[in-house]
Structure 1
Amino acid sequence: MTVSAASAPPLPAGARIEAVAAGAIPGWAQDDQRIVLRLFAQGCETDPPLRQGVASTPGLPALCTEAAALLKAGEPDRAAARNFFESRFSFWRVLPDASPRGFMTGYFEPEFEGSLTRSAAFPTPLYGRPADLVTKMPGDDWPGFDPALTSARRGARGLEPFPDRAAIEDGLLDGQGLEILWMRDPVDRFVLQVQGSGRIRLPDGTVTRLVYAGRNGHPYTSLGRELSRRENIPPAQMTMDRLVARLKADADFARELIRLNRSFVFFARRDDLPPDSGPIGAAGLPLTPLRSIAVDRTVWPYGTPAWIAGEIPDGSGGSEALSRLVLAQDTGSAIVGPARVDLFVGSGPQAGHRAGLIRHPFDLIVLWPRERGR
């Protein structure tokens, strides 16, 4: 089976690719590809996904179906799973023009305390998706609209920009019955919105799950980067833990800084999700720790397998090598570029601590469906 240039993935300006032989990838033969084969067999994405991305490349959905049939016939051994990816995909190293390597961050599913009713202890509302919110899909043309806006509000005169975070926090959505629960403070809500999913532990001890339901469409602003600039903190020292501690220490400062991020995320409750399952990613499927990644949804289709290699913090003051097959199952407003990924680390505070430490260069190899007959 040969690979032609036509089977290479298309890339935007600012990156290049080179073909790689699977056998030449350090660690490839030692990884357990059965883990990602099982994830791949669940499907490339749901219909519709939670966040619409670039159209799937020809052949990818059929390979997801083929993987499901393979598993239905019986659990394959490691060699068979490895051969599935080697025989059906070509391997391409992604090389950004501005850097010899890609850039990886980490994210997690947080858990907070909350309530289904408002009280002095839980005064901060979390909103469901407004009925008049319209999300811009790939290929949509909104003449006269700022191209940076990815959502709009449908009014009597047509589409108009959806109000920003400050307007929403000032009560824009009050009286519409959109409150799905209440949180302790805006800092908890901000962290939840950055991560895109979460668990809320209610006063009676039960847990409700939250999934992404849309955003107001304004560009995302990194508060960590802004705090680094204001307080002369080296970017390498600006972790999520440090940012949250600074915001929690001063409510007025937190309110002012959080409003710099005009983006505002809406959620839906999913109490049907099993407690031990991962959160639902943008592709509409559960995420798996250290095997699911978020990618730029305008570049890579959901369901694209990839090989990542680098060194990341272990969460205990050390670091560890991470070389493994992963699957593109999510996206994020800050994940922009063909060699930019966000690694899902897991759920809970320990995963959150580790995720907040990951800001590392890494190598990215994308697996792209081979052309038929090649």
Structure 2
Amino acid sequence: MASAWLLPGVLALLGLGAGGGAMAEIETAPRHEMLRFDELDGWAGDDHAAALAVFQTSCHRPPGPDWDGVCAVARRTEPAQARAFFEAFFRPVLTTAGPGGGTVFTAYYEPELAGSPRRTARFDVPLYAVPPELPEGGAWLTRAEIEAGALAGRNLEIAWVEDPVDLFFLQVQGSGRVRFPGGGGVRVGYGGKNGHEYRSVGLEMIRRGLVEEHRASAEVIRAFVRTNPDEGRALLRHNASYVFFREVEVDPALGPLGALNLSLVPHRSIAVDPGYHPLGAPVWIEKDGAAPIRRLAVAQDTGSAIRGAQRADIFWGTGAEAGLAAGRVRDGGRMVTLLPVRAAYALAPDTGL
């Protein structure tokens, strides 16, 4: 898997779309429309220098030949010239799909768990590294079999955590931090999975009548599992998919690694479908809802739940507070990709701009 994340977005845990109900399949026949910068709502008011700083890091891995010259200029551009740089070397391109392709913004975060490098009475839930015999294709051991001890005693434990539901959330996000008592800890990223398809625990709770659809949330799942340990563990095992981790060395002050192997920046890094948006490209976000966002972000991540021309997952940050905020993001709006001038005109040639 290209990304450090398995299923970006708290929404992936629930399997629900922006309007409630199961996520609809998104049409993949794209249409491209070139826009003017003054057609981007809020463009003039953004912090373009902050966006430029993130884009400059992505230029270490240019998306393609059309980007080499743009990135060369970006590296020499001063913060005060950021807006002029984007307007001179890019054109906004709105990519949409057919019926069912409406915009959906969600958000994801980097979980932070309490844990221990050794098993203790408190910390007894293992966080496993990738077993050497894990097959590259096909289904392997299920979550239930692994949790029953199929990998015990093999020294595969990177760390031990306290709560099985916290581990489950970590596996959904695909990356996180484990803090050890007395200081120190370990940072982990997605290492591999057991080959079983992800099955939504949120939808299963709704199916069983345990929660009404409009009340389904990550916190409801967490509370149910903790209040009903046996039934809760069985509920989590409804999802046979199981994620293994790898230790990653990243500056503690920086965000986790995304698909470009670069640290993600809160509110400026997003996960996209690379079939529609080049990784490393600037993307203008017009997220509506209770907390609107008008901001230039950079496509630096992907995920198996992020599919479609108007689908984006916004990286919200690290820790419980970021997780709670990310869980509330489920909004419509519009996303517009900034492409180098030549690439933009090649994609949307029938324009009067």
- Give the alignment's TM-score, normalised by structure 2: 0.82
Q: Secondary structure at the match of 1:357?
A: coil
**Unaligned regions of 5+ residues in structure 2, if any?**
1-25, 346-353
Please say which of residues 96-105 and 337-346 is displaced more in the overlay.
Answer: 96-105
C-alpha separation in 2, matches of 1:234 and 1:57: 46
> Structure 1 stretch 166-175 or stretch 274-283: which is displaced more?
166-175
Structure 2 partner of 1:4: none
**1:347 and 2:313 aligned:** no
Match of 1:30 in 2: 45
Superimposed CA distance per residue, residues 144-187 of structure 1 (whole angstroms, 9 cap, x where no aligned partner)? xxxxxxx42xxxxxxx5433323322333334322100111221
Contact preservation (8 Å) 2:27, 2:99: no
CA contact (8 A) 1:12 1:299 kept: no
What is the correspondence of 1:1-374 to structure 2 with a 5 Å cutoff?
13-44=28-59, 56-60=63-67, 63-68=70-75, 70-71=76-77, 75-77=78-80, 80-99=81-100, 101-133=102-134, 151-152=136-137, 160-231=138-209, 233-270=211-248, 272-312=249-289, 319-371=290-342
Seen in structure 2, the aligned counterparts of structure 1 residues 205 and 339 have a Cα distance that, compared at 3 Å, is same
- Please state how far the C-alpha of 1:20 moved relative to its aligned partner: 1.3
Instruction: Provide runs of 4+ in structure 1 moved above 6 Å.
Output: none
Secondary structure in 1 aligned to 2:326?
helix
Q: Which amino acid aligns with 1:288?
A: V
Amino acid at match of 2:336: I
Alpha-carbon distance in 2 for matches of 1:220, 1:301: 26
Distance (whole Å) between structure 1 residues aligned to residue 87 and residue 109 of structure 2: 30
Gaps of at least 5 residues in structure 1 are 1-10, 47-54, 135-150, 153-159, 313-318
> How far, CA to CA, are the matches of 2:250 and 2:46 in structure 1?
29
Indicate the structure with greater helix content: 2
Structure 1 distance, partners of 2:72, 2:238, is: 44
Shift in alpha-carbon separation, 1:218–1:82, aligned structure 2, 3 A? farther
Match of 2:348 in 1: none
CA RMSD of the aligned region, Å? 2.6
Aligned counterparts of 1:222 and 1:361: Cα–Cα separation in 2: 22
8 Å Cα contact 1:291-1:327 kept in structure 2: yes
Counterpart-to-counterpart distance in 2, 1:112 and 1:93: 39
- Cα distance in structure 2, aligned partners of 1:273 and 1:240: 27
Q: Which digits, 9 at most, give the CA deviation of each residue in 1:264-285, with x for residues without a partner? A: 2222223x42222111122211
Shift of 1:346: 1.1
